Structure 1
Amino acid sequence: MKAIKIAALSALLVSGSTFAMGVSFEGGKNWTNLEAEMGKSSSGLYLQGNWLKNVDDGTQVGGAGIGYNLGLGPVMANVGAKALYIGPKKGDNGVAFPIGGGLSVNLTDSIALFGEGYVAPEGLNNSVKNYTEANAGVSWSPISLVTLKAGYRYAGVDGKHGRPSHTLYDGLYASAGVTF
């Protein structure tokens, strides 16, 4: 069993050296998001992490995720799971483990439509009834190293134990990222 674990870890590390890595910065009306990813733009395993802050009320959401991409021609589908820290200013700070997936469709070599959604029902978090997030938009890569995005991002929670349901962040955004 130990040999299998070592072989699997070695395969992940070796294949990870061919992953494209990227960082991006998103800005919405009342929030900012810093995101890093590895392997998100190619078929196979990917890793991602982000830290988002609502500058209007101080809410913070950050975490890491892992998933799998499956490329089918111009379409890339993915499924994944995340571990998130949720820090709203409503007294329900905690962790959530949302699961979900997404779809990206390349319209041309440089323009794509994308969308994804994740949910953590009551059994997958400790401080709220459920957590929901969604992200959709269009991306443009004028050169292979740069990606510009415009889209809509939302996350909200349903409160429990008398705490109110509320939106963590919501709105249109613009993003710039580099991949290397």
Structure 2
Amino acid sequence: MNKILLSSGVAIWLLAGSAQAIEGGFEAGKNYTTINVGMGTTTPGLSLSGNWMRSDHDGSLSGVGVGYNFQVGSVFLSPGVKAMYISPEDSKDGYAVALGASAQMPLANMLGVYGEYYYAPDALSSRIDNYQEASAGLSFTPISMVNLRVGYRYLALDGKDGRKDNLLADGPYIGGSLRF
């Protein structure tokens, strides 16, 4: 499954075109860390993203996502889909295909707000009843290459067939990214 996700992500990335900006970032919360990569995530059109998250207590996940970005006034909207390989601490490994969207809106010259929500029901996942991911916060962009964030993240896996629920993230975090 990991090979399929990786090869699909690479193929989509190559199709997205070479003029897209590349971004890499890191986020840290009380009991979790996340590494993110992306291409085209800050420009209108097709975008590709990837992430790896590790919870200190409830396992890890990795995945790729594809979306389409467009701007409505000053709001930047990005509906998309994420395919994730999930490895809970006290349950069997599985996958989830989550649908969702993110939004960004500038408040001032270097300050903005953002939010995102993704959900995968039982029909789009294995060995979990559902997957939910939500985050929101403030972003600070002192120069176009640097983005700093502070926010709140919630990521939960509801167990299926008597399996344990897993809460990978539930709390504030800080993070940063570089864009090229």
Q: TM-score, normalised by structure 2?
A: 0.88
- CA 1:177–1:93: 2 relative to 1, 3 Å: same
| C-alpha contact (below 8 Å) 1:42/1:71 kept by paired residues | no
Cα distance in 1 for residues equivalent to 2:58 and 2:44: 36
Q: Secondary structure at the match of 1:98?
A: strand
- CA 1:13–1:126: 2 relative to 1, 3 Å: closer
Question: Equivalent residue for 1:70?
Answer: 70
Give the letter for the 1:18 counterpart.
A
Give the letter for the 2:20 counterpart.
F
Q: Secondary structure at the match of 1:123?
A: helix
| C-alpha contact (below 8 Å) 2:77/2:103 kept by paired residues | yes
What 5-or-longer segments of structure 2 have no aligned partner? Answer: 1-12
Structure 1 position 94 matched with structure 2 position 94: yes
| 1:123-168 CA-partner distances (Å, limit 9, x unpaired) | 0001101110001111111011111000111111111111132312
| C-alpha contact (below 8 Å) 2:146/2:179 kept by paired residues | yes
Cα distance in 2 for residues equivalent to 1:168 and 1:174: 16
Matches within 5 A, 1:90-169: 90-169=90-169
Give the letter for the 2:91 counterpart.
G
Matches within 5 A, 1:10-29: 13=14, 16-29=17-30
Larger radius of gyration: 1
Cα distance in 2 for residues equivalent to 1:14 and 1:48: 13
| C-alpha contact (below 8 Å) 1:46/1:69 kept by paired residues | yes
What 5-or-longer segments of structure 1 have no aligned partner? Answer: 1-11
Identity %, equivalent residues: 40
Q: Secondary structure at the match of 2:128?
A: coil
Q: TM-score, normalised by structure 1?
A: 0.88
Give the letter for the 2:28 counterpart.
G
Give the letter for the 1:76 counterpart.
F
| C-alpha contact (below 8 Å) 2:134/2:153 kept by paired residues | yes
**Comparing 158-167 with 18-27, which one deviates more in the overlay?**
158-167
- CA 1:94–1:16: 2 relative to 1, 3 Å: same
- CA 1:78–1:50: 2 relative to 1, 3 Å: same
| C-alpha contact (below 8 Å) 1:74/1:105 kept by paired residues | yes
Question: Equivalent residue for 1:5?
Answer: none
Aligned residues: 168
Cα distance in 2 for residues equivalent to 1:129 and 1:90: 15
